[in-house]
Protein backbone atom coordinates (compact mmCIF):
# COMPACT_ATOMS: atom_id res chain seq x y z
CA UNK A 1 0.00 0.00 0.00
CA UNK A 2 2.95 2.32 -0.15
CA UNK A 3 5.76 2.83 -2.61
CA UNK A 4 9.11 2.05 -1.02
CA UNK A 5 12.50 3.27 -2.12
CA UNK A 6 15.24 0.70 -2.61
CA UNK A 7 18.98 0.82 -2.23
CA UNK A 8 19.77 -2.90 -2.31
CA UNK A 9 20.69 -5.25 -5.15
CA UNK A 10 19.02 -4.69 -8.51
CA UNK A 11 18.50 -6.98 -11.49
CA UNK A 12 19.20 -5.52 -14.90
CA UNK A 13 16.38 -6.02 -17.38
CA UNK A 14 17.44 -6.61 -20.96
CA UNK A 15 15.32 -6.43 -24.07
CA UNK A 16 15.08 -9.39 -26.46
CA UNK A 17 16.35 -6.89 -29.02
CA UNK A 18 20.13 -7.09 -29.46
CA UNK A 19 22.80 -4.68 -30.58
CA UNK A 20 25.94 -5.84 -32.31
CA UNK A 21 29.17 -4.30 -31.06
CA UNK A 22 32.05 -3.40 -33.38
CA UNK A 23 33.83 -6.62 -32.41
CA UNK A 24 30.78 -8.60 -33.56
CA UNK A 25 29.64 -9.44 -30.02
CA UNK A 26 25.90 -9.40 -29.50
CA UNK A 27 24.33 -7.82 -26.46
CA UNK A 28 20.71 -7.53 -25.45
CA UNK A 29 19.78 -3.87 -24.96
CA UNK A 30 19.59 -2.77 -21.33
CA UNK A 31 16.15 -1.39 -20.44
CA UNK A 32 16.28 -0.74 -16.73
CA UNK A 33 16.34 -2.67 -13.50
CA UNK A 34 14.16 -3.91 -10.70
CA UNK A 35 14.87 -4.41 -7.00
CA UNK A 36 15.90 -7.89 -5.97
CA UNK A 37 13.78 -8.25 -2.87
CA UNK A 38 14.59 -11.14 -0.57
CA UNK A 39 12.93 -12.83 2.37
CA UNK A 40 12.44 -9.58 4.38
CA UNK A 41 10.57 -7.98 1.45
CA UNK A 42 8.47 -11.11 0.95
CA UNK A 43 7.59 -11.07 4.64
CA UNK A 44 6.74 -7.39 4.63
CA UNK A 45 4.48 -7.73 1.56
CA UNK A 46 2.78 -10.72 3.11
CA UNK A 47 2.35 -9.00 6.47
CA UNK A 48 0.64 -6.08 4.72
CA UNK A 49 -1.72 -8.43 2.85
CA UNK A 50 -2.50 -10.44 5.99
CA UNK A 51 -3.17 -7.26 7.98
CA UNK A 52 -5.42 -5.81 5.28
CA UNK A 53 -7.41 -9.06 5.13
CA UNK A 54 -7.45 -9.28 8.93
CA UNK A 55 -9.09 -12.71 9.00
CA UNK A 56 -11.96 -11.39 6.89
CA UNK A 57 -12.58 -8.37 9.14
CA UNK A 58 -10.52 -5.90 7.11
CA UNK A 59 -11.89 -2.89 5.26
CA UNK A 60 -11.52 -4.62 1.87
CA UNK A 61 -13.14 -8.03 2.51
CA UNK A 62 -16.05 -6.39 4.35
CA UNK A 63 -16.57 -3.60 1.82
CA UNK A 64 -19.77 -3.70 -0.25
CA UNK A 65 -19.45 -5.11 -3.75
CA UNK A 66 -20.43 -1.68 -5.11
CA UNK A 67 -17.56 0.03 -3.27
CA UNK A 68 -15.05 -2.58 -4.41
CA UNK A 69 -16.23 -2.07 -7.97
CA UNK A 70 -15.74 1.69 -7.58
CA UNK A 71 -12.09 1.10 -6.55
CA UNK A 72 -11.59 -1.20 -9.53
CA UNK A 73 -13.12 1.39 -11.87
CA UNK A 74 -10.79 4.04 -10.52
CA UNK A 75 -7.84 1.68 -11.10
CA UNK A 76 -9.00 0.92 -14.66
CA UNK A 77 -9.25 4.62 -15.53
CA UNK A 78 -5.73 5.22 -14.26
CA UNK A 79 -4.48 2.17 -16.14
CA UNK A 80 -6.03 3.38 -19.40
CA UNK A 81 -4.30 6.73 -18.92
CA UNK A 82 -0.96 4.87 -18.86
CA UNK A 83 -1.64 2.79 -21.99
CA UNK A 84 1.22 4.12 -24.07
CA UNK A 85 3.86 3.51 -21.38
CA UNK A 86 2.67 -0.01 -20.67
CA UNK A 87 2.34 -0.95 -24.35
CA UNK A 88 5.89 0.29 -25.03
CA UNK A 89 7.23 -1.71 -22.14
CA UNK A 90 5.46 -4.91 -23.25
CA UNK A 91 6.97 -4.44 -26.70
CA UNK A 92 10.51 -3.76 -25.49
CA UNK A 93 10.60 -6.19 -22.60
CA UNK A 94 9.24 -9.32 -24.21
CA UNK A 95 9.63 -8.51 -27.90
CA UNK A 96 5.91 -8.71 -28.72
CA UNK A 97 4.93 -6.75 -31.83
CA UNK A 98 3.43 -3.31 -31.20
CA UNK A 99 0.07 -4.45 -32.62
CA UNK A 100 -0.01 -7.50 -30.31
CA UNK A 101 1.18 -5.46 -27.33
CA UNK A 102 -1.69 -3.05 -27.91
CA UNK A 103 -4.08 -5.99 -28.24
CA UNK A 104 -2.81 -7.41 -24.96
CA UNK A 105 -3.38 -4.12 -23.18
CA UNK A 106 -6.85 -3.55 -24.62
CA UNK A 107 -7.92 -7.13 -24.00
CA UNK A 108 -6.89 -6.71 -20.37
CA UNK A 109 -8.94 -3.55 -19.95
CA UNK A 110 -11.92 -5.31 -21.57
CA UNK A 111 -11.36 -8.24 -19.19
CA UNK A 112 -11.48 -5.96 -16.15
CA UNK A 113 -14.65 -4.28 -17.38
CA UNK A 114 -16.29 -7.64 -18.14
CA UNK A 115 -15.29 -8.85 -14.66
CA UNK A 116 -17.02 -5.85 -13.11
CA UNK A 117 -20.20 -6.57 -15.07
CA UNK A 118 -20.07 -10.29 -14.20
CA UNK A 119 -19.68 -9.47 -10.53
CA UNK A 120 -22.69 -7.14 -10.61
CA UNK A 121 -24.75 -9.98 -12.07
CA UNK A 122 -23.44 -12.51 -9.57
CA UNK A 123 -24.19 -10.14 -6.73
CA UNK A 124 -27.73 -9.49 -8.01
CA UNK A 125 -28.45 -13.20 -8.15
CA UNK A 126 -26.93 -13.77 -4.74
CA UNK A 127 -28.83 -11.03 -2.96
CA UNK A 128 -32.12 -12.92 -3.45
CA UNK A 129 -33.48 -14.90 -0.52
CA UNK A 130 -34.28 -18.56 -1.01
CA UNK A 131 -36.78 -20.41 1.15
CA UNK A 132 -36.34 -24.18 1.17
CA UNK A 133 -38.12 -26.50 3.60
CA UNK A 134 -38.67 -23.75 6.15
CA UNK A 135 -35.12 -22.37 5.97
CA UNK A 136 -34.51 -18.88 4.58
CA UNK A 137 -31.07 -18.56 3.06
CA UNK A 138 -29.07 -15.85 1.39
CA UNK A 139 -26.00 -17.06 -0.46
CA UNK A 140 -22.96 -14.85 -0.73
CA UNK A 141 -19.71 -15.27 -2.58
CA UNK A 142 -17.05 -14.59 0.04
CA UNK A 143 -13.27 -14.20 -0.30
CA UNK A 144 -10.67 -16.86 0.51
CA UNK A 145 -7.94 -14.74 2.12
CA UNK A 146 -4.49 -13.90 0.83
CA UNK A 147 -3.74 -14.76 -2.79
CA UNK A 148 -0.26 -15.06 -4.25
CA UNK A 149 -0.34 -14.14 -7.95
CA UNK A 150 2.33 -14.99 -10.50
CA UNK A 151 1.94 -14.52 -14.23
CA UNK A 152 3.94 -15.62 -17.28
CA UNK A 153 6.28 -13.67 -19.55
CA UNK A 154 4.33 -14.28 -22.76
CA UNK A 155 1.21 -12.42 -21.56
CA UNK A 156 2.77 -10.61 -18.62
CA UNK A 157 -0.04 -8.10 -18.19
CA UNK A 158 -3.05 -10.01 -19.42
CA UNK A 159 -2.46 -13.39 -17.78
CA UNK A 160 -1.35 -11.82 -14.52
CA UNK A 161 -4.49 -9.72 -14.40
CA UNK A 162 -6.64 -12.71 -15.39
CA UNK A 163 -6.08 -13.94 -11.83
CA UNK A 164 -5.12 -10.79 -9.92
CA UNK A 165 -8.23 -8.79 -10.88
CA UNK A 166 -10.86 -11.42 -9.99
CA UNK A 167 -8.94 -12.28 -6.81
CA UNK A 168 -8.98 -8.63 -5.74
CA UNK A 169 -12.52 -7.78 -6.69
CA UNK A 170 -13.86 -10.78 -4.73
CA UNK A 171 -12.41 -9.23 -1.55
CA UNK A 172 -9.13 -11.15 -1.26
CA UNK A 173 -5.88 -9.35 -0.64
CA UNK A 174 -2.98 -10.01 -2.96
CA UNK A 175 0.76 -10.47 -2.97
CA UNK A 176 1.95 -10.17 -6.52
CA UNK A 177 5.34 -11.17 -7.92
CA UNK A 178 5.89 -9.84 -11.45
CA UNK A 179 7.39 -12.22 -14.01
CA UNK A 180 11.13 -12.09 -14.74
CA UNK A 181 10.58 -10.86 -18.31
CA UNK A 182 7.86 -8.26 -18.04
CA UNK A 183 8.79 -6.95 -14.62
CA UNK A 184 9.22 -3.32 -15.67
CA UNK A 185 5.89 -2.93 -17.39
CA UNK A 186 4.14 -2.94 -14.03
CA UNK A 187 6.05 0.15 -12.86
CA UNK A 188 3.58 2.59 -14.44
CA UNK A 189 0.74 0.77 -12.65
CA UNK A 190 2.17 0.71 -9.12
CA UNK A 191 0.99 4.23 -8.32
CA UNK A 192 -2.47 3.33 -9.66
CA UNK A 193 -2.59 0.29 -7.34
CA UNK A 194 -1.64 2.53 -4.44
CA UNK A 195 -4.15 5.23 -5.11
CA UNK A 196 -7.12 3.05 -6.15
CA UNK A 197 -7.13 0.43 -3.38
CA UNK A 198 -6.97 0.59 0.42
CA UNK A 199 -3.56 0.09 2.00
CA UNK A 200 -2.24 -3.48 1.95
CA UNK A 201 -4.85 -4.80 -0.48
CA UNK A 202 -2.29 -5.27 -3.24
CA UNK A 203 1.40 -5.73 -2.54
CA UNK A 204 3.93 -6.05 -5.32
CA UNK A 205 7.17 -7.76 -4.41
CA UNK A 206 10.09 -7.80 -6.82
CA UNK A 207 12.78 -10.40 -6.36
CA UNK A 208 13.97 -13.86 -7.33
CA UNK A 209 11.11 -16.34 -7.40
CA UNK A 210 13.30 -19.06 -5.88
CA UNK A 211 13.78 -16.95 -2.72
CA UNK A 212 10.57 -14.96 -2.44
CA UNK A 213 8.00 -17.63 -3.26
CA UNK A 214 9.13 -20.39 -0.85
CA UNK A 215 9.24 -17.79 1.94
CA UNK A 216 5.67 -16.72 1.18
CA UNK A 217 4.35 -20.27 0.98
CA UNK A 218 6.28 -21.46 4.01
CA UNK A 219 4.55 -18.81 6.13
CA UNK A 220 1.31 -20.80 5.97
CA UNK A 221 -0.49 -17.45 5.54
CA UNK A 222 -1.12 -17.66 1.81
CA UNK A 223 -4.52 -19.19 1.06
CA UNK A 224 -4.44 -19.35 -2.72
CA UNK A 225 -1.52 -19.80 -5.06
CA UNK A 226 -2.02 -18.78 -8.66
CA UNK A 227 0.61 -19.44 -11.24
CA UNK A 228 0.28 -19.12 -14.97
CA UNK A 229 3.60 -20.49 -16.05
CA UNK A 230 5.56 -23.68 -16.33
CA UNK A 231 4.65 -27.10 -14.98
CA UNK A 232 8.24 -27.45 -13.75
CA UNK A 233 7.85 -24.46 -11.42
CA UNK A 234 4.44 -25.70 -10.25
CA UNK A 235 5.90 -29.16 -9.47
CA UNK A 236 8.69 -27.54 -7.52
CA UNK A 237 6.25 -25.43 -5.48
CA UNK A 238 4.16 -28.47 -4.69
CA UNK A 239 7.21 -30.24 -3.28
CA UNK A 240 7.77 -27.47 -0.74
CA UNK A 241 7.10 -28.26 2.94
CA UNK A 242 3.59 -29.47 3.83
CA UNK A 243 2.03 -26.06 4.50
CA UNK A 244 2.16 -25.41 0.79
CA UNK A 245 -0.01 -28.46 0.16
CA UNK A 246 -2.99 -27.00 1.98
CA UNK A 247 -3.26 -24.20 -0.51
CA UNK A 248 -5.95 -23.85 -3.08
CA UNK A 249 -4.04 -23.72 -6.37
CA UNK A 250 -5.18 -22.13 -9.59
CA UNK A 251 -2.66 -23.08 -12.22
CA UNK A 252 -2.30 -22.61 -15.96
CA UNK A 253 0.70 -24.69 -17.08
CA UNK A 254 2.38 -26.45 -20.01
CA UNK A 255 0.51 -27.76 -23.02
CA UNK A 256 1.31 -29.62 -26.21
CA UNK A 257 -1.83 -28.89 -28.21
CA UNK A 258 -2.17 -30.89 -31.42
CA UNK A 259 -4.02 -30.24 -34.65
CA UNK A 260 -5.41 -33.34 -36.35
CA UNK A 261 -5.82 -32.73 -40.07
CA UNK A 262 -8.01 -35.33 -41.78
CA UNK A 263 -7.88 -36.22 -45.51
CA UNK A 264 -11.12 -34.38 -46.26
CA UNK A 265 -10.03 -31.12 -44.60
CA UNK A 266 -10.22 -27.81 -46.42
CA UNK A 267 -6.45 -27.49 -46.82
CA UNK A 268 -6.38 -23.72 -47.26
CA UNK A 269 -8.38 -23.24 -44.09
CA UNK A 270 -6.31 -25.81 -42.15
CA UNK A 271 -3.05 -24.18 -43.29
CA UNK A 272 -4.23 -20.69 -42.37
CA UNK A 273 -5.40 -21.74 -38.90
CA UNK A 274 -2.42 -24.00 -38.19
CA UNK A 275 0.00 -21.25 -39.21
CA UNK A 276 -1.62 -18.70 -36.91
CA UNK A 277 -2.08 -21.31 -34.23
CA UNK A 278 1.53 -22.42 -34.20
CA UNK A 279 3.37 -19.16 -34.80
CA UNK A 280 1.46 -16.23 -33.28
CA UNK A 281 3.88 -14.49 -30.93
CA UNK A 282 6.59 -16.89 -32.12
CA UNK A 283 4.68 -19.90 -30.81
CA UNK A 284 5.10 -18.59 -27.27
CA UNK A 285 1.50 -19.16 -26.17
CA UNK A 286 0.38 -21.97 -23.92
CA UNK A 287 -2.51 -22.46 -26.36
CA UNK A 288 -0.27 -22.58 -29.43
CA UNK A 289 -0.48 -25.60 -31.71
CA UNK A 290 2.69 -27.48 -30.86
CA UNK A 291 2.21 -30.56 -33.04
CA UNK A 292 0.50 -30.90 -36.41
CA UNK A 293 -0.73 -34.45 -37.07
CA UNK A 294 -1.58 -34.59 -40.77
CA UNK A 295 -3.10 -37.57 -42.60
CA UNK A 296 -0.41 -39.15 -44.75
CA UNK A 297 -2.50 -38.85 -47.93
CA UNK A 298 -2.38 -35.04 -47.76
CA UNK A 299 0.84 -34.38 -45.91
CA UNK A 300 2.72 -33.33 -49.02
CA UNK A 301 0.24 -30.71 -50.31
CA UNK A 302 -0.25 -29.55 -46.74
CA UNK A 303 3.47 -28.97 -46.21
CA UNK A 304 3.79 -27.21 -49.56
CA UNK A 305 0.93 -24.81 -48.78
CA UNK A 306 2.12 -24.33 -45.22
CA UNK A 307 5.67 -23.40 -46.13
CA UNK A 308 4.39 -21.14 -48.93
CA UNK A 309 2.26 -19.19 -46.47
CA UNK A 310 4.97 -19.22 -43.83
CA UNK A 311 7.41 -17.58 -46.24
CA UNK A 312 5.00 -14.59 -46.41
CA UNK A 313 5.27 -13.91 -42.67
CA UNK A 314 7.37 -10.88 -41.89
CA UNK A 315 10.29 -11.56 -39.58
CA UNK A 316 11.62 -8.46 -37.87
CA UNK A 317 11.70 -6.12 -34.92
CA UNK A 318 8.63 -5.67 -32.71
CA UNK A 319 8.05 -2.05 -33.73
CA UNK A 320 7.99 -2.86 -37.48
CA UNK A 321 4.59 -2.66 -39.14
CA UNK A 322 3.03 -5.99 -40.10
CA UNK A 323 5.73 -8.02 -38.35
CA UNK A 324 4.81 -11.56 -37.24
CA UNK A 325 8.01 -13.17 -36.00
CA UNK A 326 9.99 -11.16 -33.46
CA UNK A 327 13.04 -11.78 -31.22
CA UNK A 328 12.95 -14.46 -28.49
CA UNK A 329 13.43 -13.26 -24.90
CA UNK A 330 17.02 -14.44 -24.48
CA UNK A 331 19.92 -16.00 -26.33
CA UNK A 332 19.49 -19.18 -24.28
CA UNK A 333 16.09 -19.70 -25.87
CA UNK A 334 17.66 -19.60 -29.33
CA UNK A 335 20.10 -22.31 -28.17
CA UNK A 336 17.18 -24.43 -26.97
CA UNK A 337 15.42 -24.10 -30.35
CA UNK A 338 18.64 -25.11 -32.10
CA UNK A 339 19.04 -28.15 -29.83
CA UNK A 340 15.49 -29.28 -30.61
CA UNK A 341 16.19 -29.05 -34.33
CA UNK A 342 19.52 -30.86 -34.05
CA UNK A 343 17.91 -33.65 -32.06
CA UNK A 344 15.13 -34.09 -34.64
CA UNK A 345 17.57 -33.99 -37.55
CA UNK A 346 19.88 -36.52 -35.93
CA UNK A 347 16.90 -38.86 -35.57
CA UNK A 348 15.75 -38.64 -39.17
CA UNK A 349 13.57 -35.54 -39.56
CA UNK A 350 14.35 -32.57 -41.80
CA UNK A 351 13.62 -28.87 -41.77
CA UNK A 352 11.35 -28.52 -44.80
CA UNK A 353 11.61 -24.75 -45.21
CA UNK A 354 14.47 -22.29 -45.00
CA UNK A 355 13.96 -21.83 -41.26
CA UNK A 356 15.96 -22.59 -38.21
CA UNK A 357 18.77 -20.07 -38.24
CA UNK A 358 19.08 -17.04 -36.01
CA UNK A 359 19.97 -13.49 -36.88
CA UNK A 360 20.49 -10.41 -34.71
CA UNK A 361 21.10 -12.87 -31.88
CA UNK A 362 17.57 -13.57 -30.73
CA UNK A 363 15.63 -13.50 -33.99
CA UNK A 364 14.93 -17.11 -34.87
CA UNK A 365 13.52 -18.02 -38.28
CA UNK A 366 10.54 -20.38 -37.88
CA UNK A 367 11.30 -23.96 -38.82
CA UNK A 368 8.88 -26.63 -40.04
CA UNK A 369 10.12 -30.11 -39.15
CA UNK A 370 8.93 -33.34 -40.74
CA UNK A 371 8.51 -36.25 -40.06
CA UNK A 372 8.52 -35.86 -36.29
CA UNK A 373 8.28 -39.17 -34.48
CA UNK A 374 8.26 -40.75 -31.03
CA UNK A 375 11.76 -40.57 -29.58
CA UNK A 376 12.48 -37.06 -30.86
CA UNK A 377 12.31 -34.30 -28.27
CA UNK A 378 9.91 -32.34 -30.46
CA UNK A 379 7.38 -35.17 -30.35
CA UNK A 380 6.51 -34.70 -26.68
CA UNK A 381 8.37 -31.66 -25.36
CA UNK A 382 6.63 -28.29 -25.32
CA UNK A 383 8.86 -26.20 -27.59
CA UNK A 384 7.19 -22.85 -26.74
CA UNK A 385 8.90 -21.22 -29.69
CA UNK A 386 8.93 -20.85 -33.48
CA UNK A 387 9.27 -24.52 -34.46
CA UNK A 388 6.39 -26.36 -36.12
CA UNK A 389 6.67 -30.15 -35.74
CA UNK A 390 4.64 -32.12 -38.27
CA UNK A 391 3.87 -35.85 -38.02
CA UNK A 392 1.78 -37.95 -40.37
CA UNK A 393 -0.70 -40.67 -39.44
CA UNK A 394 -2.47 -43.41 -41.32
CA UNK A 395 -5.44 -44.30 -39.15
CA UNK A 396 -7.38 -42.02 -36.84
CA UNK A 397 -6.56 -44.20 -33.84
CA UNK A 398 -2.88 -43.13 -34.06
CA UNK A 399 -3.79 -39.44 -33.92
CA UNK A 400 -6.21 -40.05 -31.07
CA UNK A 401 -3.60 -42.08 -29.20
CA UNK A 402 -1.14 -39.17 -29.47
CA UNK A 403 -3.52 -36.96 -27.53
CA UNK A 404 -4.53 -39.67 -25.06
CA UNK A 405 -0.97 -40.63 -24.20
CA UNK A 406 0.16 -37.03 -23.69
CA UNK A 407 0.92 -35.83 -20.18
CA UNK A 408 -0.74 -32.54 -21.12
CA UNK A 409 -4.44 -31.98 -21.70
CA UNK A 410 -5.31 -28.45 -22.68
CA UNK A 411 -6.81 -28.24 -26.19
CA UNK A 412 -6.91 -29.90 -29.59
CA UNK A 413 -7.97 -28.81 -33.09
CA UNK A 414 -9.64 -31.04 -35.69
CA UNK A 415 -9.75 -30.16 -39.37
CA UNK A 416 -12.27 -32.05 -41.50
CA UNK A 417 -15.28 -31.27 -43.67
CA UNK A 418 -17.14 -34.38 -42.57
CA UNK A 419 -19.54 -33.98 -39.64
CA UNK A 420 -19.40 -37.75 -39.13
CA UNK A 421 -15.63 -37.86 -38.82
CA UNK A 422 -15.65 -34.84 -36.53
CA UNK A 423 -18.36 -36.45 -34.43
CA UNK A 424 -16.31 -39.63 -34.03
CA UNK A 425 -13.39 -37.63 -32.68
CA UNK A 426 -15.12 -35.03 -30.53
CA UNK A 427 -16.51 -37.32 -27.84
CA UNK A 428 -13.29 -39.11 -26.94
CA UNK A 429 -11.24 -35.91 -27.28
CA UNK A 430 -13.39 -33.68 -25.12
CA UNK A 431 -12.78 -36.16 -22.30
CA UNK A 432 -9.03 -35.78 -22.81
CA UNK A 433 -8.64 -32.03 -23.16
CA UNK A 434 -10.72 -29.06 -22.10
CA UNK A 435 -11.47 -27.56 -25.49
CA UNK A 436 -11.90 -29.22 -28.86
CA UNK A 437 -11.71 -26.72 -31.72
CA UNK A 438 -13.35 -27.68 -34.99
CA UNK A 439 -11.79 -26.23 -38.12
CA UNK A 440 -10.06 -23.53 -36.12
CA UNK A 441 -6.87 -23.07 -34.13
CA UNK A 442 -6.57 -23.54 -30.36
CA UNK A 443 -6.95 -20.38 -28.30
CA UNK A 444 -8.06 -19.08 -24.92
CA UNK A 445 -10.57 -16.45 -25.96
CA UNK A 446 -13.21 -15.14 -26.03
CA UNK A 447 -12.55 -14.64 -22.34
CA UNK A 448 -16.04 -15.55 -21.21
CA UNK A 449 -15.38 -19.18 -22.18
CA UNK A 450 -13.83 -21.50 -19.59
CA UNK A 451 -10.07 -21.73 -19.75
CA UNK A 452 -8.48 -24.73 -18.11
CA UNK A 453 -6.80 -28.04 -18.83
CA UNK A 454 -6.57 -31.65 -17.73
CA UNK A 455 -3.61 -33.75 -16.55
CA UNK A 456 -0.62 -31.52 -15.83
CA UNK A 457 -1.91 -28.58 -17.90
CA UNK A 458 -4.01 -26.80 -15.29
CA UNK A 459 -5.77 -26.74 -11.96
CA UNK A 460 -8.91 -24.68 -11.49
CA UNK A 461 -10.76 -22.79 -14.20
CA UNK A 462 -10.39 -19.25 -15.44
CA UNK A 463 -12.72 -17.13 -17.53
CA UNK A 464 -14.49 -13.93 -16.60
CA UNK A 465 -17.11 -15.71 -14.48
CA UNK A 466 -15.22 -18.90 -13.60
CA UNK A 467 -12.43 -16.81 -12.10
CA UNK A 468 -14.86 -14.99 -9.81
CA UNK A 469 -15.96 -18.41 -8.56
CA UNK A 470 -12.40 -19.74 -8.33
CA UNK A 471 -11.37 -16.91 -5.97
CA UNK A 472 -14.35 -17.17 -3.66
CA UNK A 473 -16.45 -19.59 -1.72
CA UNK A 474 -20.23 -19.83 -1.49
CA UNK A 475 -21.18 -18.96 2.07
CA UNK A 476 -24.70 -18.42 3.35
CA UNK A 477 -26.68 -16.66 5.99
CA UNK A 478 -29.62 -18.75 7.12
CA UNK A 479 -32.51 -18.59 9.50
CA UNK A 480 -35.66 -20.60 10.13
CA UNK A 481 -38.89 -19.29 8.79
CA UNK A 482 -41.14 -18.07 11.57
CA UNK A 483 -44.55 -16.43 11.74
CA UNK A 484 -42.90 -13.03 12.18
CA UNK A 485 -40.36 -13.22 9.32
CA UNK A 486 -42.73 -14.84 6.82
CA UNK A 487 -43.45 -11.44 5.27
The residue with its CB nearest to ligand G3H is: 286
Among 196, 160, 200, 191, which Cα is nearest to 177's? 160
Sole binder of ligand G3H in the list 160, 163, 172, 287 (CB under 6 A): 287
**CB of 258 vs ligand G3H, minimal distance in Å:** 15
Q: Does 115 bind ligand G3H (CB under 6 A)?
A: no
**Which residues have a Cβ under 8 Å from the Cβ of 33 and sit 6 or more positions away?**
10, 11, 12, 13
Sole binder of ligand G3H in the list 141, 285, 295, 333 (CB under 6 A): 285
Full DSSP string of 55-82: GGTSHHHHS-HHHHHHHHHHHHHHHHHT
| Interface map 421-460 toward ligand G3H (x if CB under 6 A) | ----------------------xxx---------------
**What distances in angstroms separate CA 242 from CA 40, 55, 131, 158, 349, one per listed residue?**
22, 22, 41, 31, 45
How many chain residues are in contact with ligand G3H, going by CB under 6 A?
9
Backbone angles phi and psi of 37, in degrees to 5: -70, 155
Residues between 3 and 62 that touch ligand G3H (CB under 6 A): none
In the complex with ligand G3H, which residue's Cβ is closer, 159 or 459? 159
Full DSSP string of 325-359: E---S-HHHHHHHHHHHHHHHHTT-EE-SS---EE
Neighbours of 13 (CB within 10 A): 21
Sole binder of ligand G3H in the list 155, 176, 393, 402 (CB under 6 A): 155
Among 250, 119, 140, which Cα is nearest to 474's? 140
Q: Candidates 22-30, 241-249, 279-287, 296-304: pick the segment binding ligand G3H (CB under 6 A).
A: 279-287
Backbone angles phi and psi of 310, in degrees to 5: -60, -40
Q: How far apart are CA 154 and CA 390, in angstroms?
A: 24
Q: Please list the residues that pair with 466 across neighbouring strands.
A: none
In the complex with ligand G3H, which residue's Cβ is closer, 311 or 448? 448
**CB of 229 vs ligand G3H, minimal distance in Å:** 10
Q: What is the DSSP letter of 398?
A: H
Q: Does 153 bind ligand G3H (CB under 6 A)?
A: no
Q: Does 336 bind ligand G3H (CB under 6 A)?
A: no
Q: Candidates 64-72, 126-134, 175-183, 284-292: pick the segment binding ligand G3H (CB under 6 A).
A: 284-292
Among 244, 240, 211, 220, which Cα is nearest to 39's? 211
Sole binder of ligand G3H in the list 15, 115, 154, 163 (CB under 6 A): 154
**CB of 445 vs ligand G3H, minimal distance in Å:** 5
CA angle 404, 409, 411 (to 5 degrees): 105
Q: Candidates 90-98, 153-161, 297-305, 361-369: pick the segment binding ligand G3H (CB under 6 A).
A: 153-161
Q: Candidates 152-160, 234-242, 313-321, 402-410: pick the segment binding ligand G3H (CB under 6 A).
A: 152-160
Which residues here bind ligand G3H, judged by CB under 6 A?
154-155, 159, 285-287, 443-445
Amino acid sequence: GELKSWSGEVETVRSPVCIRHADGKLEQIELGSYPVGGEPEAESALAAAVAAYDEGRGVWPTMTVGDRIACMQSFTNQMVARREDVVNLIMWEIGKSRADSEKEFDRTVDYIRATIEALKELDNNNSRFQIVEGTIGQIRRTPLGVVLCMGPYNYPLNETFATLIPALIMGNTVVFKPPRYGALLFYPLLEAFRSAFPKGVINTVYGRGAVVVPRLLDSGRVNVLTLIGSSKVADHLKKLPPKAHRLRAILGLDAKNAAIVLPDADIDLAVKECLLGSLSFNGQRCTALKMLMVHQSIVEPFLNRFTEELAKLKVGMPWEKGVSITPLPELGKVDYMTQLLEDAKAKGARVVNAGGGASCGTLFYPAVVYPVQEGMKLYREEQFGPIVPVASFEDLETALEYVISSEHGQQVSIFSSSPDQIGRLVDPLVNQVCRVNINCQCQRGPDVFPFTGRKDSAEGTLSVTDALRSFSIRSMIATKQTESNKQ
